[in-house]
Structure 1
Amino acid sequence: MNDTFMKTKPVFPLLVSMALPNVISMLVNSLYNIVDSLFVAQINEQAMTALSLVFPIQNFVSAVAIGFGIGINALVALYRGAGDHDRADAAATHGMALSVLHGILCTLAATAIMPGFLARFTTDGTIVSMGVTYSTIVFLFATVNMAGLAFEKIFQAVGRMKLTMTALISGCVCNILLDPVLIFGLGPVPAMGIAGAALATGIGQAATLVIYLVVYSTTESPVHLCREALRPDLSLEGRLYAIGVPAILNLALPSLLVTFLNGLLAAFSESYVVVLGIYYKLQTFLYLPANGIVQGMRPLIGYNYGAKEHARVAKLYQLTLGMGAVIMAAGTVICMAASAPLIGLFSSNPETIAIGQTALRIICLGFVVSAVSTTSSGALEGLGKGAASLVISLCRYVIFIMPLAWLLCRQLGPTGVWHAFWVTEVLSAVIAFAVYRKSVGPLSR
């Protein structure tokens, strides 16, 4: 299969063709997460609490899989672009082997810590028991999930976005269909409760992996997993981790930020904590299309960088930035015009709606400028410059927003936390553009 179209096809239609399947995949994945939670909530409130308590560890395991996958994606694209197919095969092979190892280690570690972890947040024995049951089953599939995501990033690196979209959607649909059957029982299938929800998740991940394995085994692939490429290569493995570890941290930092902000807002009223949670639900849908475009850009910019197509690298960055800014401008208009109805989707409490209306109208002031940070961070990951990308994420999620939120909430009350968001985005955009220009140098001009 020839992937030279990544450096010959006109940039705009190329970027759209790579980004659109990602956007669709992410929308379906978000829908699956909502449906999955709705089914679990129907068991009882304790089951939903257990699921929520397991989520941080489950999210971290996913961050390891996706973040390291970004490292695989970047190196495969870079080496393919440079015409070094043997090195690309080696990167894919080592990446897959290490992903499987990560899955085994995560299964062992996460299963071991969960009873103690859950007991730190609740004294309800039923919730702890449910959480242990759910997490034990889910983490047994960690290796399956790691391998599936490694395949996803390998196929994306060579432009096979429709395949990864099909595989992800198939896994999500499988999960959604199995949820009611395994949770509540149907015919000969017994009701398994929260264990059924976990099993449905694992089977959905396995279905995705099976699709990748079948496609890899039965079709021509530009990248090959080779046993002979498994010989130790500290340089290659170092590059995988140099990109993957910062990407993992990038994905984990928002959870740290939410925990910190919840601590500040809880001192004023529980309603502010609820509003913050609602904002992040809404933000997920708003940033989905922008992040889908960045995902489509990442292998393209890496491939063209490796092929020394410097003008195309610059054009891809600029086009992604422009498209992201347009999407975020639309989000700003929606939040300004319909802030109360948006909050009302999640709460009927007049106090919460009033607080949320104010929050959305303030936070959205930073939406457009945030496109600089998200585009620069994604571009740097695609170019294999993970440490530089991490600098941007640290600015957005730790260095600027945490001290600003702490300071402004003491000056302006809880509203100060909302102002910290847009101020952070402005400051982070300045840093992001400077970091990108310094890291990429004249290629970005």
Structure 2
Amino acid sequence: LSRSLGQKDQEKANRAANTGIFLAIVNCLLFAVLGLFFSKYYFTSQTDIEEIINYGTEYLSIVTVCSFGLAGQSVFERLLQSTGKAFLSMITQCFGAVLNMILDPILIFGWFGLPAMGVRGAAIATVISQCMAAALAIVFNIFLNREIHLKIAEIRPRAEIIKRIVAVGVPITIMMSIGSAMIYGLNRILITFTPAAIAVFGVYFRLEHFVFMPVFGLSTGIVSIISYNYGAGSKQRVIQTIRLSILYATVVMIAGFALFQAFPAQFLSMFNATEAMLEIGVTALRIISICFIPAGFCVISGSVFQALGSGMPSMLESIGRQIAALLPLAYILSKTGGLDAVWWAYPLSEIVSVVMCAAFLRYFYVKRIKPLSDSIA
């Protein structure tokens, strides 16, 4: 969509937007089917604790069957981002998050005369928040996003546009699925040591999110900028955006690395860590956070590939790092060096990621960016 706007092709941009909405509807139906029939299996394949299975199945089945809010929020926020209105996208995300925080205790504990619904209440709060955020994003697109024109009659499949969307979207979807598979596999390795190791791993992921969040925000923002200028043929703007993004991302990740090295125990204590978790977690956080330093480069590289119309390199990099490197390394190290050695699989696998991203980035520079003119759009 951004590339079409850069090429001044308004009709093509409109078709891309409306086709994207159609695909979001299809995704909703797919998630509903998965939620209805496979929610329980997802949990029974990982644990035999009945309470976890029941709570997890109840929550997951609700949020997947009612995923229309999430799909709507995602697609309409992406339309705002694609046209350079990232601030409006941020408003919808913040609105949904704040509303969720307000509704959670009300529906979980039964405030204001409502029945206490527990886990089901948390799921319903999530669905309501997603639907309201989606509604706000739709309003923003209709009244404030003049770059594209949405029409209900135009929400239909178009083979040529779906092919281009799939070329970028399917590899990214597979990449996200690979991440879930990696977590599942690593949990199976960690449980052979102690449940506290899995708890530490879960805390790490929550902490990691705060470090990566600014970089993910930056990477999302540059997709539309690079796509627009690539479509407009402005080589210098594309190169400058990539360079500055890598620089800023690396600075953020180095800061995150420094914090994890200095305050691992304090971070773990925020999650009421037990003595066993602290004993394991301090070492774990310090080792895993080594991978932060090169990770910023890899995240930005993935967005560059996406902006240039190809999601395949990101998928291959994800497979190489998480499946071909991280899981085998974690398994080998668990057998040869104990629990502390397992955490080294993270920084070691990041080497594979950096090498692959650098090679792909070089390829795209030579094939796609270098031939552009130096015109300013």
Same fold (TM over 0.5): yes
Mapped partners of 1:125, 1:151: distance in 2: 38
TM-score, with length taken from structure 2: 0.90
Aligned partner of 1:245 among 170, 180, 185: 170
**Deviation of the 1:128 alpha carbon:** 5.3
Q: Considering Cα pairs closer than 8 Å and 6+ residues apart, tell me whether 1 or 2 has the greater RCO.
A: 1
> Match for 1:416: what amino acid?
A
Mapped partners of 1:415, 1:281: distance in 2: 20
Aligned residues: 370
**Deviation of the 1:138 alpha carbon:** 2.3
**Deviation of the 1:324 alpha carbon:** 0.8
Partner of 1:364: 289
1:124–1:370 CA distance, 2 compared to 1 (3 A): closer
1:347–1:219 CA distance, 2 compared to 1 (3 A): closer
**Deviation of the 1:409 alpha carbon:** 2.9
8 A Cα contact 1:314 1:443, kept in partner: no
8 A Cα contact 1:377 1:393, kept in partner: no
Aligned partner of 2:239 among 314, 320, 323: 314
Is structure 2 residue 104 aligned with structure 1 residue 179? yes
Mapped partners of 2:16, 2:183: distance in 1: 35
1:325–1:116 CA distance, 2 compared to 1 (3 A): closer
**Deviation of the 1:299 alpha carbon:** 1.1
Is structure 2 residue 330 aligned with structure 1 residue 330? no
Aligned partner of 1:163 among 76, 88, 101: 88
Partner of 2:355: 430
Question: Superposition RMSD on alpha carbons, in Å?
Answer: 2.3
> Match for 1:373: what amino acid?
C
SS across alignment from 1:293: helix
8 A Cα contact 2:18 2:151, kept in partner: yes
Aligned partner of 2:21 among 96, 101, 107: 96
Is structure 2 residue 159 aligned with structure 1 residue 234? yes
Mapped partners of 2:117, 2:207: distance in 1: 32
Mapped partners of 1:129, 1:248: distance in 2: 27
Aligned partner of 1:339 among 264, 270, 279: 264
**Gap regions ≥5 residues in structure 1:** 1-75
Is structure 2 residue 366 aligned with structure 1 residue 441? yes
8 A Cα contact 1:118 1:128, kept in partner: yes
**Quick check: 158-167 or 218-227, which moved more?**
218-227
Mapped partners of 2:59, 2:266: distance in 1: 35
**Deviation of the 1:156 alpha carbon:** 0.4
**Deviation of the 1:94 alpha carbon:** 0.6
SS across alignment from 1:400: helix
**Quick check: 98-107 or 225-234, which moved more?**
225-234
Mapped partners of 1:162, 1:82: distance in 2: 24
8 A Cα contact 1:437 1:444, kept in partner: no
SS across alignment from 1:267: coil
8 A Cα contact 1:294 1:320, kept in partner: yes
Written as runs of structure 1 = structure 2, the 5 A alignment for 1:367-378 is 367-378=292-303
8 A Cα contact 2:224 2:307, kept in partner: yes
Partner of 2:70: 145
Q: Deviations over 1:282-325 (max 9, x none)?
A: 11111111111111111111111111111111111111111111
Partner of 1:388: 313
> Match for 2:182: what amino acid?
L
1:280–1:165 CA distance, 2 compared to 1 (3 A): same
**Quick check: 180-189 or 358-367, which moved more?**
180-189
> Match for 2:146: what amino acid?
S
**Deviation of the 1:207 alpha carbon:** 0.8
**Deviation of the 1:262 alpha carbon:** 1.9
Mapped partners of 1:410, 1:125: distance in 2: 30
1:105–1:217 CA distance, 2 compared to 1 (3 A): same
Q: Deviations over 1:251-299 (max 9, x none)?
A: 2222211221222222223332222222222111111111111111111
Partner of 2:130: 205
Mapped partners of 2:14, 2:316: distance in 1: 30
Mapped partners of 1:422, 1:159: distance in 2: 35
Mapped partners of 2:349, 2:46: distance in 1: 31
**Deviation of the 1:132 alpha carbon:** 4.8
Mapped partners of 1:409, 1:122: distance in 2: 21
Q: Deviations over 1:337-359 (max 9, x none)?
A: 22222223334433422322222
Aligned partner of 1:287 among 196, 212, 215: 212
1:443–1:199 CA distance, 2 compared to 1 (3 A): same
Partner of 1:37: none
> Match for 1:233: what amino acid?
R
8 A Cα contact 1:107 1:143, kept in partner: no
SS across alignment from 2:228: helix
Is structure 2 residue 33 aligned with structure 1 residue 108? yes
Mapped partners of 1:174, 1:373: distance in 2: 33
Percent identity of equivalent pairs: 29
Partner of 1:299: 224
1:244–1:113 CA distance, 2 compared to 1 (3 A): same
**Deviation of the 1:382 alpha carbon:** 1.7
Mapped partners of 1:120, 1:407: distance in 2: 23
Aligned partner of 1:272 among 197, 204, 221: 197
Partner of 2:147: 222
1:182–1:413 CA distance, 2 compared to 1 (3 A): closer
Mapped partners of 1:402, 1:150: distance in 2: 32
**Deviation of the 1:152 alpha carbon:** 0.6
> Match for 2:79: what amino acid?
I
Is structure 2 residue 328 aligned with structure 1 residue 403? yes
8 A Cα contact 2:253 2:292, kept in partner: yes
SS across alignment from 2:284: helix
Partner of 1:415: 340
**Gap regions ≥5 residues in structure 2:** 371-377
1:281–1:132 CA distance, 2 compared to 1 (3 A): closer
Mapped partners of 2:58, 2:338: distance in 1: 41
8 A Cα contact 2:22 2:156, kept in partner: no
1:192–1:375 CA distance, 2 compared to 1 (3 A): same
